[in-house]
Amino acid sequence: MSTLRYTEEHEWIRVEGDTATIGISAYAQEQLGDVVFVDLPQPGKKVEKGKEVAVVESVKAASEVYAPVSGEVVAVNSDLATEPARVNSDPMGNGWFVKLKLSNKAELDGLMDQAAYDAYVKGLH
């Protein structure tokens, strides 16, 4: 079973133990267009589920990235400061934004799996 989950705001979360890596989906980066800047939090920041955890700016717009779960930022993808286009070229891999130490694993239960997210995105068109 995949540990990859999605939100309706197009964030993804991959859980390994009590650490979660967060980014935006391929669909989200396609909608944004070319990413030119990413504003990331400082490690140690506590974030709440549904609240802003980062900001991504593209040639089209600036958009908030919301935390799919609550936790503490334990790492940020500092490579995005000099290579924000990684969000476009590898949104599900090297384009990740932050890693959180989970504070409540039960929050994962309300997130979509790959099949549910694919159906959700298909329903947007």
What are the sequence ranges of the domains in the chain? 2-123
Rounded to whole angstroms, how far apart are CA atoms 25 and 9? 9
Strand order from edge to edge, sheet including 19-24: 4-6, 11-16, 19-24, 98-102, 71-76, 46-47
pLDDT of the chain, 125 residues: tens digit per residue: 358 999 999 999 999 999 999 999 999 999 999 999 999 999 999 999 999 999 999 999 999 999 999 999 999 999 999 999 999 999 999 999 999 999 999 999 999 999 999 999 999 87
Q: What does pTM read for this prediction? A: 0.93
Topology of the domain covering 2-123 = OB fold (Dihydrolipoamide Acetyltransferase, E2P) (2.40.50)
Which tokens go with 108? 């994962």
